[in-house]
Chain A
């Protein structure tokens, strides 16, 4: 009886460790669909207004970063458009205070990875091939884990370089 109790305790201990590690891992993993400080509906801007990705993510074909626009870009229109909506009021406040909006990153490659938006966009790839149908999303949702296998799969089919030092820095 005593031995069984010891076994139970040991098993329970390991189970607890496994659960704790898993929970910790999940906490570390960024949410696929994080809550943003300002609800920004991509679908309204793309489908209703007819804007293009590069209108706001203006450096995607010039830099390694696509970049998230500053509030000054938003205010180019929202100075006069939909100024009474609660989310736009939040935006206007942020613009006036000069503080950047604390957007939560949805996509982020690991720090040891070199990834250039410019190289991918200039090679003729569509933004949606990695980011999914953003133009239909109300809140942006991550559609991939950005894992190495996912990268390599595409590099292989397209005949892109697959040497370690292509992406690892």
Chain B
């Protein structure tokens, strides 16, 4: 019934609410820390009747400040995944995997290892681990030269750390404060999607975008494919992949003149940067030289400014040079200490590709006796999977330790089930000094063990490894929590301290101030190089990471399949993205399957023509939908990382993602892509509106629920107590889709599959639409507008669509007979019809929100403004004999939003935040001329009039 784990917990590891106080039918929230990517956002998990039904961001957490991305929210579908590994598995003589017990598995491990020689290595390959797990692995490694661990992350940030080591002597990734920046220049970094800590970045970015104080930040993006970040940029310049380095170096070169450096160092930099002139970079990037000059001048004059580099196309053989250039720019602009600091280092170091190659060589030479792979898939990230597979076969014992089956699970001898991060205690330190708590929120439903415990148990049965074990990981973890370095509050009163940790979701140690001085020796990383791609018509492959599947590990999650990619608006598939020019050259259209030849075989997948893609680029997102719920899934014919040449950046040892040439071989078929938005054109209807910064001050007062007719046949609705309304600020909506997934999770929205989506039968209550207005991309969350004069209500023959006294258009499910008149009459197209009774594979249904009816065939449904949450908080207020407070009721979409674009509240209360925002001069209602009088007011997106424009989606 209740969250558990405390039976085995000792003095300190216990929950805030004792189990006997848990009441069925009442919601509880427990704090934990997301492990879906290394960013480590704080989360809180809603529990009902012992099931985890919703994940939300923790408002107290210094990383994400309450928002949570789509991938983080989808963790529940991994927790209850049908592909969870439920018992230990072992390979039988026939090569099949048989279920076995933990004891048998350990016996087998002990037997297999005793046969092998004692000089061979034990290697743990793991996904990013921080805090206690890392401390344990480091302790293992320090105790034995034969033990090694390797952190395998496809997005490794090794060039950033390498450049900082060269420049400042600090092998670390800084934290970036977008909130303080007035100028943001990004060389390919998709910082609103996957780069480093996307929710944290988006939160800061939104603060910097405040249009009211006249100092809205300007974001400038150089990139070679259309990323979500690029779509949000004020100035976006499309350049060939790898040319970002040239551009950054030329800007650094121009900014060098005014930099406060000792004369000798200044000279070193100047000679290193001499070949990188603005003219040369501008020619390679295909932009006028004035643009680059202006960017450089802005970085210096519009301070504080922030330059950053990352993203797929920065993974080149010059990756470190690019990062050094960025460091130089930030140093020249005086950004260190303001917009980026090393006070808290981000992203603990991970293994690089060259280290992985060493490991593979070790395996090939038979120097590895035992390979333990924890929650990662080296076969996914390694460009030569066949070589790695053969090398792995040389290791006598290969063990996988994972919670969910992945695409490589078949290649191990033993597969051990690990607890999902929502089922275990742990201590995570994604930023130095930010100690985040993980606590078990549900009773484990598989015969799984804590990965730390399982690792230490494996170590215990290996020969020569028996002495240094923390036998009990729980005990080890407790010590880690009790002994937080440099802080005494933990030891003084551990009970109070622990209570605080449970309430806050962790403990945030004060940051340690670290000043930096630039070292001119870093100039050695800058060497002259040719641009990655010549503009003569050759194509290169560019693996990209997206909001949907991240680095590939989040495959197997139905919500993410049905979430449209914010750029292509395609669900399920991940096509090859090409430019219009390329499609003309190849004579193919969106959906055509093309065959592309590269050094290492072929790539065969449907293409999608995406504007903003460079003519020389074929961009492919990592990850693909898998019907078997496997994580790290990809279609073998379409896995971009397996087609890479394996070039290395010599300064950081990172794998280059750029530079694999592709040759077009022909169109081989067609695959209809399910794209959920027909067109980005607005045909003058003013759905998504924008306004220049200079015009904002000239606007008059907005009117809420503007009525366009003087005479009305219907009586006016009275709102005696509450009148719910919403304001959506398009200026800070970045289109990440977190709200859409939050809505799926909160409201038991069905996932219907690609074929149904192709028929226009998707069920999403909230969708992100993408429009172009005055050449600016606008992301627009489209949901039921809860019209005061609702077209749906007047046509319902059975009175199933009715207006509530609180201003909501409610849908009475059991009254609905499915005429679909309402959906046809809805101008916003937000009503969804259940054509079938959609089933989910067990145990995914455990995630269902018990406060929301699971709709069956023949019922119309739509956004309810999360009426169950309104009800819940009204009940709480009633119990406490008070009125509802402003901001108490937060719908799922508004809660998850990393940027705070969605505000919800009571319009009846003139002091409520939403009431005040309703008077914002930027406000407008969509299709107001139809006299629908919506309860949602959109605030126009503010743009810089001198930014770049785009004509097509």
A contacts, CB < 8 Å to B: 59, 62-65, 67, 110-112, 114, 116, 118-119, 122, 163-165, 168-169
Contacts and interface: CB of A to CB of B under 8 A. Distances in A.
Contact of A63 (B25, B802, B808): B25
A67 to B, nearest CB: 6
B179 interface: no
Given A112-B853, A119-B875, A169-B868, A65 B808 contact: no
Contacts of B813: 112, 168
A163 B808 CA distance: 11
Interface string B810-853: 10111000000000000000000000000000000000000111
15 contacts: A59-B23, A59-B24, A62-B26, A64-B25, A111-B853, A111-B854, A112-B813, A112-B814, A114-B851, A114-B871, A163-B804, A163-B805, A164-B810, A165-B810, A168-B810
Nearest to B802: A164
Nearest to A161: B805
A65 B853 contact: no
Given A116-B875, A164-B810, A169-B852, A63 B804 contact: no
B812 A168 contact: yes
A62 B23 contact: yes
B810 A63 contact: no
Contact of B814 (A59, A62, A67, A168): A168
B808 A165 contact: yes
A62 B26 CA distance: 8
Interface in B858-895: 867-868, 871, 875, 878-879
Given A59-B23, A62-B26, A169 B810 contact: no
B853 A169 contact: yes
Nearest to A58: B23
A64 to B, nearest CB: 4
**Which 6 A-B residue pairs are closest in the complex by CB-CB distance?**
A63-B25, A65-B25, A112-B853, A64-B25, A165-B810, A63-B23
A5 B892 CA distance: 63
Interface of B: 23-26, 802, 804-806, 808, 810, 812-814, 851-854, 867-868, 871, 875, 878-879
Contacts of A163: 804-805
Contacts of A116: 875
Nearest to A64: B25
A67 B25 contact: yes
A145 B802 CA distance: 26
A62 B27 CA distance: 12
Contacts of B854: 111
A165 B25 contact: no
A110 B808 CA distance: 23
Nearest to B878: A119
B97 to A, nearest CB: 31
B853 A59 contact: no
A67 B25 CA distance: 9
B851 A164 contact: no
B723 to A, nearest CB: 14
B772 to A, nearest CB: 38
Nearest to A122: B879
Contact of A169 (B23, B25, B26, B851): B851
Nearest to B853: A112
Contacts of B878: 119
Nearest to A110: B814
Given A118-B875, A169-B868, 6 more contacts: A64-B26, A110-B814, A114-B851, A164-B802, A164-B804, A164-B812
Contacts of B875: 116, 118-119
Nearest to A164: B812
Contacts of B26: 62-64
A59 B21 CA distance: 11
B880 to A, nearest CB: 12
Nearest to B855: A112
A63 B24 contact: yes
B922 to A, nearest CB: 31
Among B25, B813, B867, chain A packs the most CB atoms within 10 A around the CB of B25
A116 B879 CA distance: 13
Nearest to A70: B1
Contacts of A110: 814
Contact of B25 (A59, A111, A122, A164): A59
Contacts of B871: 114, 165, 169
A114 to B, nearest CB: 7
Contacts of B25: 59, 63-65, 67
A51 to B, nearest CB: 20
A63 B812 CA distance: 24
Contacts of B808: 165
B225 to A, nearest CB: 44
Contacts of A63: 23-26
Most chain B CB inside 10 Å of its own CB: which residue of A59, A118, A168: A168
Nearest to B805: A163
A67 B812 CA distance: 27
A110 B813 CA distance: 12
A165 B867 contact: yes
A155 to B, nearest CB: 15
Contacts of B802: 164
Contacts of B853: 111-112, 169
Contacts of A64: 25-26
Given A110-B814, A114-B851, A165-B810, A67 B804 contact: no
B2 to A, nearest CB: 12
A65 B48 CA distance: 12
A119 B852 CA distance: 18
B720 to A, nearest CB: 11
Contact of B24 (A67, A114, A169): A67
Nearest to A116: B875
